[in-house]
């Protein structure tokens, strides 16, 4: 099945920084940084899928907040959205990613300029920078 939605989390810490996760695969994306997330499964809401994915990938419990406005067409029938979230329990840990990093606006902007952000996720950079500069 190719249709559906991918949901990614814009996770903010209490100090305002944003969590980025470094992809391990596929080879063309390995080493680049993304908002962690995954596919919404049949019968799940967006929020439920994000909570499940972030528990599986990072070992944290999150409280889901407001969606980012930009959405990304990954391919026909598969769109990706991002939702703001906060960690309510656990410390993020890598299970599927190479590394994790908390960034502020200047760090995110510099990583974007260096081409270190997963191309699909660049659609969210303006909104993420606005959040980080609040």
Q: Which is nearer to ligand CDP, 20 or 87 (CB)?
A: 20
Residues 6+ apart with CB under 8 A from 114: none
Binding site for ligand CDP (CB under 6 A): 6, 8, 34-35, 37-39, 74, 80, 118, 120-121
Distance CA 132, CA 21 (A): 17
Tell me how far, at minimum, the Cβ of 35 lies from ligand CDP, in Å. 4
Q: Which is nearer to ligand CDP, 87 or 117 (CB)?
A: 117
Residue nearest to ligand CDP (CB): 38
Cβ 120 vs Cβ 35: under 8 Å: no
């Amino acid at each position: 099945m190719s249709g559906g939605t991918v949901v990614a989390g814009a996770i903010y810490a209490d100090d305002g920084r944003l969590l980025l996760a470094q992809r391990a695969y596929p080879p063309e994306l390995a080493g680049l940084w993304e908002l962690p997330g995954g596919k919404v499964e049949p019968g799940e809401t967006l929020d439920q899928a994000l909570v499940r994915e972030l528990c599986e990938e990072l070992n944290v419990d999150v409280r889901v907040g407001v969606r980012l406005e930009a959405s990304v067409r990954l391919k026909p029938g598969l769109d990706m959205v991002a939702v703001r979230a906060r960690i309510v329990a656990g410390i993020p840990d890598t299970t599927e990613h190479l590394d994790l990093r908390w960034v502020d606006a200047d760090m995110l902007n510099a990583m974007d300029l260096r081409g270190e952000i997963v191309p699909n996720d660049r659609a969210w950079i303006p909104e993420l920078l606005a959040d980080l500069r609040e």
